[in-house]
Each structure stands twice: as C-alpha cells, then as structure tokens.
Amino acid sequence: MSPDESPTEPQIDVGEAEAKPKKSMKERFAFLDKSGESMDKVPGVNKIPRSARVLVLLIAVILIVSVIAISWPSGDKPVVEPDHVDVTKLEDWSWSSGSTQGDFLNEGTTFTQALASMIEGNGTIFIERVDVTITWQDEPDGSIGPRQKQNQPDTFQLEINSTINVSAMSEEMSNTHGASQTISVFVDIADSGYDYLVIGNTTGIKLGEDVTPGDINIIIHMIVAGDHTSSPQILIINDFGNDYTIEISVTGKMIPE
Ligand SMILES: [Ca+2]
Ligand SMILES: [Ca+2]
C-alpha cells in the first residue's frame, strides 16, 4: 500500500473539493435571486427605471463639476515677483474724476493740483496716460440801467506738467460770446522715455528701469476775463474771472494695497 492509498488520508474530500468549479470574482460577488440564479445588479437598483438612474448619475456629475468650479481659484492676481515688479502683468486700471466743479478763478490767477492728491486709495499706481478737459461758461450779459452790455469772452489756458520730462500746454483759448468753451490736453508717459510714472506707496516694491516714481500737476490758467461792455463805451461792468468744470481721466496699471 502506497502512502497515497492510506485510509487515513482525506482523499475523497480532496477530490470533491478539486471537482468543484472555481468561481470567478464576478460570480463570487454576484447577487442571487430567490432561485439562486445570479443577477447582474442589486435587486433594488434593478427596480429603478434606467432613465431615472441616468438622471441621478447626471445630477451627481453636475454637482461634482460645480464644486470643482466654485473652489477653483478665479481671476488673475497681480503677478509681483519678490524683488521686481513686472508692470505689464498687472491688471489694467483706469480712473476718472467725472465732471467736477472747480472753484472760481480770478482773472490772472492759476490753480495747480497734484494728481496723486486726487486719486483715492493707497494702492501703487503705474500711470500710462492722463487726459484733462476743462469747460467754462461765461456769466450772462449785464446791464446798467436801460443800457445792455455784452460780456466779452474769457480766456483760459490748460497745462499738464510732471516731475519727469512730459508736459502739455494748450493754446490760450477764448469762448465765443454766450457759448461754453472746452479745452483738452493729455500726456503719454511713454514720451518721457519711461513706460510708467508711479504714484502711491512703493515701499517694498523694486521698480524696473522702465518705471519711475513722480507726480503729475494739472494747472488751470485764468488768463483774461473780458468785461461787460457796450458801444459807446461809457461805463463797463467788470468781469472778475470765471469758474469751470474739470474732468481728469487716468489709465495704467495698479497693485491694490
Ligand atoms: Ca467775460
Ligand atoms: Ca467771466
């Protein structure tokens, strides 16, 4: 008798175990119906119409995409390198004063205002261009007793200058009798050799060679205020000067504070 034929060996059991067909992974995890037949899907899921299952899947995908979209960083932040600012990568920036009433200017006087003092906020502003327009309307004609006078034209001049080599000066311009008059001037910082003029806080910001700190001045000259006259010229009514409205527009780049 060989060892294989020993009655103590569990030969039959081994043979039965080997005779059973091996189950695949799919079969091991298959759901069985009441008769023991395997089913492709969970019984509960099988009862849900296919269209409803597709809808649920679609909603789940939409929710996931929405969550990703909301949490994704949005907008380009100003790109500021640690020790040097690349101005071209900053966000475009513009500012306008809107049409603003200026103070009455006496004949022969000048009013100067620095642009930096007008721009609100403490960000760092890299100016590319400044446009300025003034408009004025002379006072209505006066009269002395029955004698009507005609208010002769007023003359203004508008100027922009700067701490760098850019400036603009208009001609001396006069209104037509009774009509309003406008003067506009502008400066392009690029005409200075620099690309940008910086105003505002530059602490901790290293500026490139195309950028220089400085300021822009806007200057209104009230040259002559023509008086109220008539012919023959016996008495005149003095015109002391005039008021005006001003609108300033600035474009460039900015680093918010
Ligand atoms: Ca006048
Ligand atoms: Ca006037």
Grouped pLDDT means (10 residues each) for the chain, 257 residues: 45 46 58 57 64 86 79 60 77 95 98 91 90 98 92 98 96 98 98 94 88 96 97 88 98 91
Say yes or no: 47 and 11 in one domain: yes
CA 161 – ligand 1 centroid, Å = 27
Are residues 239 and 225 in contact, defined by beta-carbon separation less than 8 angstroms? Answer: yes
Q: How many Å lie between the centroid of ligand 2 and the Cα of residue 151?
A: 8
Distance (angstroms) between ligand 1 centre and the Cα of 8 equals: 133
Taking the C-alpha atoms of residue 128 and residue 254, their distance in angstroms, rounded to an integer, is 11
Tell me: do 39 and 87 sit in the same domain. Answer: no
Ligand with the closest atom to the CA of 154? 1
Burial 101-113 (b: 16+ CB within 10 A, else e): ebeebebeeebee
- Looking at residue 12, its pLDDT comes to 44
pLDDT at 127: 96
Quick check: 128 and 196 in contact, CB under 8 A? yes
Q: Are residues 32 and 100 in the same domain?
A: no
User: Cα of 175 to ligand 1 centre, how many Å?
Assistant: 9
pLDDT at 150: 96
Q: Do 67 and 98 reside in the same domain of the chain? A: no
Are residues 48 and 10 part of one domain? yes
pLDDT reported for residue 18: 47
CB atoms within 10 A of CB 187: 22
What is residue 183's predicted lDDT score, i.e. its pLDDT?
98
Burial class (CB in 10 A: 0-12, 13-18, 19+), 51: exposed
Boundary-marking domain end, from 71, 94, 110: 71
Q: What pLDDT is recorded for position 54?
A: 86
State the alpha helices, DSSP H only, in 72-180.
115-118
Which pLDDT score, from 0 to 100, does residue 64 have? 83
CA distance 184 to 195: 22
Rounded to whole angstroms, the Cα distance separating 121 from 194 reads 24
Q: Are the C-beta atoms of 185 and 170 separated by less than 8 Å?
A: yes
Q: How far is the CA of 178 from the centre of ligand 1 (A)?
A: 9
Q: Tell me, yes or no, whether 45 and 86 share the same domain.
A: no
Q: Which helix (H) or strand (E) holds 19?
A: helix 11-19
**Residue ranges making up the domain that contains 16:** 3-71
Which of 71, 94, 123 is a domain's end point? 71
Question: Which H or E run contains 200?
Answer: strand 196-200
| Ligand 2 centroid distance, CA of 242 (Å) | 4
The CA 250 to ligand 2 mean position distance, Å, reads 29
Q: How far is the centre of ligand 2, averaged over its atoms, from the C-alpha of 96 (Å)?
A: 27
Residue 137 C-beta-side C-alpha neighbours within 13 Å: 7
Bridge-based pairing of strands 196-200 and 211-213 is parallel
Q: How far apart are alpha carbons 73 and 167 in whole angstroms?
A: 42
Measured in angstroms, how far is the CA atom of residue 218 from the centroid of ligand 2?
21
Per-residue model confidence (pLDDT) at position 17: 44
Distance, CA 130 to ligand 2 centroid (Å)?
A: 27
CA of 138 from ligand 1 middle (Å) equals: 5
| 89, 43: one domain | no
> Residue 136 C-alpha to ligand 1 middle, in angstroms?
11
Distance CA 115, CA 113 (A): 6
Please report the pLDDT score of residue 228 as a whole number: 96
Distance 222 CA to ligand 2 centre (A): 10
* Beta pairing partners, 94: 251
DSSP-based three-state secondary structure for 191? helix
User: What is the tally of structural domains in the chain?
Assistant: 2
